Every structure is written in structure tokens, then in C-alpha cells.
Structure 1
Amino acid sequence: MAQLRKLILVGTAMISLLASAPLAAAKPLEVVASFTVLADVVHEIGGTHVNVRSLVGPNGDPHEFEPSPDDAKALKEADVVFVSGEGLEGWMDRLITASGYTGKPAVASEGIKTREMEEDGKTVTDPHVWNSPVNVMLWVKNIEKALSAADPQDAPHFHANAEKYIAELKKLDAYAHAKLDAVPDDKRKVLTSHDAFGYFGREYKVKFLSPVGLSTETEASAADVAKLIDQIKAEGVKVYFIENSNDPKLVNQIATATGAKPGGELYVESLSTKDGPASSYLKMFRYNVDRVVTAFGK
């Protein structure tokens, strides 16, 4: 009888111990993001509860990206797929069809007040929304919503990360204003490779001129280049930048024709490698602000 009583007590203790143990953690979500900037922000919100893969790699061009069979495989196996949207990922529909992915990508840029402009007689939307941290705050909310829908158990974790990251974005926006608002209006003019800094310009009152439109897939005509050279001379643009993700040949030629001086390299549509100066979105944006302000100071 004593032995039986002992076994009952041991069994009761084990049941109590199991009942008080935390529930097993959910398996991390397998997440695919279209390009490195978006993947980094998704990782910041998802934390340890997501494994994030970027289709376009560091220093890659999301306009001219050519998906591989491995990309199709990753997409098919993903729990959540993120795109920025607004026409950036023109190749995504083809990749979805090829991969057999049956879900619907979450659009991070949903709800952002976009820029519209004329290009070749058509009205097009500027997809480069991340070049303003104010826009990325909306990215964060959309990312949190999509991750929480896919993994409700970890929704509080995603919300806490989102709030923390938005606080960092507010600091980044204040930093950019403090640096750029101090620059005289007539000096806030820059030549870049293509028209990817429109949201930066809108937010911080910087005028960016470029020979190529919103996509690096387009080509500038000789007449467009000649017109741009005349405009640069007339407006007194003194500095130009190359971009990490596309060919600098044309912008270098225009700079030579106008006398504009090199300001260095900006990170526009992709992060650097991990050992580079723009290995995260926060680092990338701060780096770009610092380079532009330094160039204006010269």
C-alpha cells in the first residue's frame, strides 16, 4: 500500500510539472521577401520567429532580377511572401506561376501615399517608397499584420518588435531632418543614376536629377541626356552619385560634361554585404544622409 501511495504521489507531481511547463514554441515561419531592404525590415519585426530569405541578393537590382529554380523552390515552401509592390517586382507573377505557390503575397507598401509621374507619355507610380523612413513605418504595420495572421501565437512578439522598430525609424527621420534642413535650399541638388530618390526628395526637400527613369530597365535617349546636361548646368548642380546596384557609366559621362564632382556611392535599392556600410536598412538610410550632406558641404 505504501508503495502504491508513493507511485501515485510521483505521478501527480509529474502531471503538475507538465501542466506548468510552457507550451512548445511554434516552428519559425519560413518567409520570402523580394529584396534585401524589405527582408531586413521583415527580420526586425519577426525576430526569432521567422527565417527570412531575400530573393534579390545584396547589391542586386530588383528591377532586372532573373529568378532561379532555387528561388521558385523557396517561394513554394514559404509560409509568407512579402513584396514591396507598386510595380517594383515585375517578375514576381511569373515566379509565382513557375513555382506553384498558391498563396497571395503580402504587399508591404499598401496604404503609402505614392508619387505619380509621367514617363514616355504614361502615368507611372514610383515604387521606391523605402527611401523615406516615414513610409517604412507603414511597411512595419503591414508586415506585423501579415506575420500575426500567419502565426497568431506570436502576435504579441511581432507587435513589440514593431513598436520598437518604429521608434528607431522616428529617430532616423529626425536625424535626416536635422542634417538636411540645415543645408541652404539652393544647394540641395544632386545627380544620380536613375530616379529612385523621389520619396527622399519629397520628405527632405532635396532635388534629384537623373538620366534614367524609375526603372533601370529603361534607357535614356540622346535627346534626354542633352536636355539633362543643359538643366544641370542651368541649375548649378555641383555633385553626383553612383548607385551600388546599377551601372555608373552614363552618370559618369554626364558628370564629365557638366563639371559635377563625385560624391561617392549611395545605396538605393539594395543593402550592402554584411561587412559593408549599409548592411541594414537603418544603416543604409543614415549612410545615404551622411554622404549627401557631406557632398553638399563641399
Structure 2
Amino acid sequence: MIRALTVLMTLAPMTAQAETLNVATSFTVIADMARNVGGDLASVQSITPPGAEVHGYQPSPRDIIGIAEADLVLVNGLNLDGWANQFLDRLDDVPIVTVSDGIDPLPITGSEDSSEYGAEGGQPNPHGWMALTSAQIYVDNIARAMAEADPDNADAYRANADAYKDRIAGVIGPLRDRALALPEDRRFLVTSEGAFSYLARDFGLTEMFLWPINAEGQGTPQQVRGLIDAMRETGAPVIFSESTVSDRPARSIAAETGADYGGILYVDSLSEADGPVPTYLDLLRVTSETILDSLEDE
């Protein structure tokens, strides 16, 4: 039975309803997916706020209070949001669903010698939502979890999920076509974090990066030197940074190699409602267009 929605200071005002499925998610991307699947039948809250660095997030007491009345908790898994376990384990009789279940995870690698970029070979890359096929698996898992938690509305969740998957495909399909038309000598995606393996695979790009996962010690001298050497060897023309990290290392490498600094990419977190990527579809579009606009620029 669905718990009555408890209005908390940490939640934005919701449309009044007699009863909704109260869903908590580990971060904002999953929250937006869940809102599209749940529609008016679900109230969704992200534990991490917009713009937050998801890796190694430190939940506050308010975060814990904010999910106390959850009927369902959605997490990414693949070592991205393990920090949530410290308090999710305290929730009694609340389903905790890993939405990445069923995807074929890519390992964290940067080249044949993954240590060249500081990569931790063998660990799964957790950013599965950046690929069309994986994102659709996420949506299916969310719909299935909501249907199990609220079986009376299972058909509505399934219909919402199918429509949402069509919208995701409509955004990413034309962008993928643009990427596949790039000249061979510009098919490089160089970033600060190795968060774009799934997107790079789908777009036919060779991925290079400074560090594998956002953590302490980003942009060490060894990481910087390794990436400078790799960019000079391959002629990679552009380097980007992500919204949740400093752009200084990427800009420094651009200056050192003569490459362009292509700007900010969004991957781990959505923005506030009035920001550049308030939804997951915006994140896919803005990030992909930023990459392609730079790589197409002769």
C-alpha cells in the first residue's frame, strides 16, 4: 500500500493528490527519468541536489529525512552511488531497485594501456544513461519497479515509459548521425572524467580522459602528462571538462597541446530548473551538441 505523501522542507511543492507513489532516487538524472515514467501518479525526490558531484556524495541529515516516507528507492549501482547504502539499509520494507540492472557495462579504460590515463581497468563505468540502449533499459527498470510498488497503475507506468523511450530516441538519433559523419581525424572525445564511454561508443569516437572517476587527486602531474602525450600523438583537436569539476586542468592541457577548449559537458547532474540542463533530455542534447559543434568546427 502506498504511504501518504509527507510534505518536507526539502521537497518542492507538489500538485495536491489524494495519494501518490513516493519515490526517492540517488541523483537527479534518475529522478527526471522517474518523473517521466510516473507522471501525475508519482512524487519523486532526488537525494542529491541539482549540480551536485555524485561520486562520493556525503548525505546530510536532511537527505535522510527526505526519503523517510519513500515507497520506492531507485539507485544507479555500478559503484556510482554506494554512499547511499549507509542509510538506505535502515529503511524497512522499502524496495531498493538498481536501475542499471540488465545493461552490458563497459569497463573503465582509456586505451590499450589503461594505466596511461589512470584508469582502473576492470571496474564498470557507471554512466550507462549516456547511451540510448542503456537509457531505455533504465526506463524499463523504473517502470517495472513502479508497477510492482503500485500495481493498480501498472498500465499507466508502462505507457509513460514507452512514450518516454521514443522521446529519448528522437533526441539522440539525429545527434548520433552527426557524430558518425565526422572526419576520422576529428573523432576524439577528450574530457576530464572518463564518464562518456557509452556515448563515445555509440558516436564512433575514441575516448581519452584525465582521470577515470571523479575523486580526490584529480589532475595529478602524471595524469596531465599522460593525456598531453596522448593528444599530441593522436592529434585530438578538442578537450572538454564536466560541470561538476574545475575546468583548469582541461584548459591547461589545451594551452599546452594547442587544442581547443570545447567547453562544459553535463553528465552526472542536472541543473536547476532555470539552468541549461533541467531535464535528462536537455542533458543529452546540450552535451552532445557541445561535443559535435566543437568537433565539426574546422
Q: Which range, TM-score by smaller chain? A: 0.7 to 0.9
More displaced stretch, 135-144 vs 121-130: 121-130
3-state secondary structure, aligned to 1:116:
coil
Name the structure 1 match of 2:25: 33
Runs of at least 5 residues in structure 1 that lack an aligned partner in the other structure: 1-24
3-state secondary structure, aligned to 1:254:
helix
- 1:13-67 residue CA offsets vs partner (Å, 9 max, x unmatched): xxxxxxxxxxxx8611111011111100000000001111111111111103110
8 Å contact from structure 1 (residues 85, 107) kept in 2: yes
Give, in whole Å, the separation in 2 of the partners of 1:219 and 1:291: 23
Name the structure 2 match of 1:96: 88
8 Å contact from structure 2 (residues 219, 249) kept in 1: no
3-state secondary structure, aligned to 1:124:
coil
Q: How far apart are 1:121 and its partner, in Å?
A: 6.1
Q: Mark the CA change 1:264 to 1:183 in structure 2 (over 3 Å): closer, same or farther.
A: same
In the alignment, structure 1 residue 61 sits paired with structure 2 residue 88: no
Alignment-mate amino acid for residue 149 of structure 1:
E
In the alignment, structure 1 residue 213 sits paired with structure 2 residue 204: no
Alignment-mate amino acid for residue 259 of structure 1:
G
Name the structure 2 match of 1:130: 129
TM-score between the two structures when normalised by the length of structure 1: 0.86
Q: Which protein is richer in helix relative to its size?
A: 1
Give, in whole Å, the separation in 2 of the partners of 1:268 and 1:80: 24
Alignment-mate amino acid for residue 181 of structure 2:
A
Name the structure 1 match of 2:99: 108
Alignment-mate amino acid for residue 104 of structure 2:
K
Q: Mark the CA change 1:217 to 1:139 in structure 2 (over 3 Å): closer, same or farther.
A: farther
In the alignment, structure 1 residue 87 sits paired with structure 2 residue 86: no
8 Å contact from structure 2 (residues 26, 75) kept in 1: yes
Give, in whole Å, the separation in 2 of the partners of 1:221 and 1:26: 54
Name the structure 1 match of 2:287: 288
Name the structure 2 match of 1:50: 42
Q: Mark the CA change 1:211 to 1:243 in structure 2 (over 3 Å): closer, same or farther.
A: same
For the aligned residue pairs, the C-alpha RMSD in angstroms reads 1.8
Of all paired residues, the percent bearing the same amino acid is 31
Q: Mark the CA change 1:101 to 1:143 in structure 2 (over 3 Å): closer, same or farther.
A: same
3-state secondary structure, aligned to 1:51:
strand
Name the structure 2 match of 1:8: none
Name the structure 2 match of 1:72: 64
TM-score between the two structures when normalised by the length of structure 2: 0.86
Give, in whole Å, the separation in 2 of the partners of 1:83 and 1:163: 21
8 Å contact from structure 1 (residues 134, 169) kept in 2: no
More displaced stretch, 265-274 vs 219-228: 219-228
3-state secondary structure, aligned to 1:103:
coil
Q: How far apart are 1:224 and its partner, in Å?
A: 2.9
Give, in whole Å, the separation in 1 of the partners of 2:119 and 2:74: 29
- 1:124-160 residue CA offsets vs partner (Å, 9 max, x unmatched): 1100101112211001110000000010111111011
Spell out the pairing of 1:206-285 with structure 2 (5 A cutoff): 206-217=205-216, 219-285=218-284
8 Å contact from structure 1 (residues 133, 172) kept in 2: no
When Rg is computed on C-alpha atoms for both structures, the one with the higher figure is 1
